[in-house]
Structure 1
Amino acid sequence: MKNSIVTSIILITVSGLLSGCQQTGEKNFKEETSFEVGSIEEIEINSESWDIELQNTETENIIIAVDGKQKGKNNDPVIINNEEKKVTVKQRDEKGISSGFSFGKEGTISISIPKKKLAQITLNNTYGDIKVMDAAAENITVSNDSGTGKIEGLSAEKGKFISKDGEWSLENSSVKELIVTSAAGDNYITNVISSKGEITSTDGEIIMKDAIEGESLRAETKSGDITISYKETPTSLKVTANSNSFDITVDLNNFKKTVNAENSIEGTVGDRLNKLEAISKNGVINITE
């Protein structure tokens, strides 16, 4: 009897919430704005729940298109502003009793940019996914609280990617100075050219495939495995690998060990001009070709 009463209360509650959502009067919201590429140096996107997509375009203009749902009658969910040479896009969820309930994707903010390096691209998202394809920038910063981040074909002098609860996938890119930070999530990095790289995770794996030997690379995770496989045999590298799991493998051609302990392996390849550090508190470390 008690179970029936509880079930009835839940059904009534859900029914009331759904009814409240319907009364909100959702409608489609679409908008597109274009800017001359020479007039813009910086783009900043701040989104609470919509997905963000950044891609290359063959046109001569920067195009920003939004496509999603508008829940309120008076407030646009996305606002686009242009001040001097900076474009800002802000997406905010409508506050209210139904704002925390979402059925399907809320919307997408799409930015198309000719393959010319802007001075700065900043993408900040709270709950949505972020995708960057074939884009170029001098500096790019991407931050995601909860959601996946996929980066492919990026060309940048400096790239910084931050996630609180989501995974990063970075492929086929060139980022001179690369910083990837995640609290809870895995990092997958494939065929990325970088002179300086720093990949850190609190609770997640770090997997680097087809790595390119650079000036310095540091991979560190407190709880997770580290796998680094080089696309070509390193020619001048100093290697330091530490893990309390006592499971460390370094299999590189012409690698000469200088330290071979249970929780630490160090050694060199060639003249050791470049540096690799792999540190995991409890995970397995594999460094191979």
Structure 2
Amino acid sequence: MRKIITTSLVLLTVGGLAMGCQGVGKSDYHHEASFEAKLIEEFEINNESWDIEFKRSDSSNITIACDGKRQDNKSDPVTIDQEGNKIVVTQKDQGGAIAGFTFGKKGKIYISIPDQEVDTITLNNDAGDIKMKNVSALNIVFNNHSGSETIEGLSADKGEFTSKDGELKLKDSSLNELTVTSGSGDSYITGVTSPLMNIASTAGEVSVKEIEEAKRLRVETGSGDIAVSYKTPPATLKLNAASDSSDISIGLDGFKETQSTEQSVAGTIGDAAHALELVSRSGTIAVK
């Protein structure tokens, strides 16, 4: 009984400290920086919890604007540095362990980038939500923990999206090569043009919709379902689908089965110049 009472008192004390500290030392934080885009080749963002919004800029400059709350007046929650031809933006939560008791969003970072000026955009994100619209770059590398990612109108040579728990929505975009790796988060790929797509998920659902026929699309999941649909029926395709769930449905015009078992289906359309490979250990597979 004494242990229970002691634990309760500790929790009340910590809770009281957290509530008491939320309003202490807080102040509005606003900061903006601008860089000549033609001098920048790489852009790196390291983010703990703030939301981030990328958008296309009509200006010749890269602009970064921060808007949020300062938890500690002794330091800035966001730092922006130029290291040669590289910009590094770093957002760190302030207040140590007490910061974990702060509810709600702490701030947002707005990033405006001109078309085809930056070679590589790298984002290392912990818990912030990410939005990107109409951005163009050679390489996009997103490493995400639990934030949601909503990306529309992206144009890139290569795109690599890795997420542990966060959801990815990629829409109406064009990439020469797309790689998606997910843990438990779902992946929704809609209206994306890419000759090479490789999507792997441990437990999340994978939906690839309204796509054009491509050289190779491979999707592999552990327990997640897989759904693939084409904008126009493919003219030349070699399809292999396998699932331990014994739930595979193929609804493509002109599809001719070459192999069909309870847990796998293989077949072709036309001269089978392109490849569609789908593997799920326990999820369903649907193609149309």
Q: TM-score range by the shorter chain?
A: over 0.9
Q: How far apart are residue 21 of structure 1 and its match?
A: 2.8
Quick one: distance in 2 between partners of 1:156 and 1:196?
13
Quick one: distance in 2 between partners of 1:7 and 1:78?
36
What is the match of residue 269 of structure 1?
Answer: 269
Quick one: distance in 1 between partners of 2:44 and 2:14?
39
| Number of residues of Structure 1 aligned to a counterpart in Structure 2 | 286
Q: How far apart are residue 123 of structure 1 and its match?
A: 1.0
Structure 2 contact 131–149 (Cα < 8 Å) conserved: yes
Structure 2 contact 155–175 (Cα < 8 Å) conserved: yes
SS across alignment from 1:223: coil
Q: How far apart are residue 245 of structure 1 and its match?
A: 0.6
Matches within 5 A, 1:83-232: 83-232=83-232
SS across alignment from 2:96: coil
Decide which structure has greater strand share: 1
Quick one: distance in 2 between partners of 1:261 and 1:215?
26
Quick one: distance in 2 between partners of 1:72 and 1:117?
35
Quick one: distance in 2 between partners of 1:280 and 1:91?
37
SS across alignment from 2:234: coil
State the AA in 2 paired with 1:266.
A
User: What TM-score do the two structures reach when normalised by structure 2?
Assistant: 0.95
State the AA in 2 paired with 1:268.
T
Structure 2 contact 38–117 (Cα < 8 Å) conserved: no
Please list the CA deviations of residues 175-201 of structure 1 after superposition, one character each: whole Å capped at 9, or x if unmatched: 110001110111101000001001111
Matches within 5 A, 1:48-63: 48-63=48-63
Structure 2 contact 71–95 (Cα < 8 Å) conserved: no
Please list the CA deviations of residues 41-72 of structure 1 after superposition, one character each: whole Å capped at 9, or x if unmatched: 11100011111111112222110111111111
User: What TM-score do the two structures reach when normalised by structure 1?
Assistant: 0.94
RMSD: 1.8
Matched, 1:237 2:243: no
Matches within 5 A, 1:26-37: 26-37=26-37
Please list the CA deviations of residues 194-214 of structure 1 after superposition, one character each: whole Å capped at 9, or x if unmatched: 010011110111011101111
Structure 2 contact 116–138 (Cα < 8 Å) conserved: no
SS across alignment from 1:197: strand
Q: How far apart are residue 94 of structure 1 and its match?
A: 2.0
Quick one: distance in 1 between partners of 2:114 and 2:172?
19
Q: How far apart are residue 96 of structure 1 and its match?
A: 2.4
SS across alignment from 1:19: helix
Tell me which moved more, 239-248 or 68-77: 68-77
Quick one: distance in 1 between partners of 2:227 and 2:182?
16
Quick one: distance in 1 between partners of 2:14 and 2:95?
19
SS across alignment from 2:18: helix
SS across alignment from 1:99: helix
Please list the CA deviations of residues 128-167 of structure 1 after superposition, one character each: whole Å capped at 9, or x if unmatched: 1111110001000011101101110000000000100111
In the alignment, structure 2 segments of 5+ residues that lack a partner are none
Quick one: distance in 2 between partners of 1:52 and 1:42?
17
Quick one: distance in 2 between partners of 1:95 and 1:280?
44
State the AA in 2 paired with 1:33.
A
Structure 2 contact 50–105 (Cα < 8 Å) conserved: yes
Q: How far apart are residue 274 of structure 1 and its match?
A: 0.7
SS across alignment from 1:146: coil
Quick one: distance in 2 between partners of 1:122 and 1:96?
26
What is the match of residue 67 of structure 1?
Answer: 67
How high is the sequence identity, in percent, across the aligned residues? 47
Q: How far apart are residue 81 of structure 1 and its match?
A: 0.6
Q: 1:263 to 1:117 in 2, by over 3 A?
A: farther
What is the match of residue 21 of structure 1?
Answer: 22
What is the match of residue 279 of structure 1?
Answer: 279
Structure 2 contact 40–117 (Cα < 8 Å) conserved: no
State the AA in 2 paired with 1:79.
T
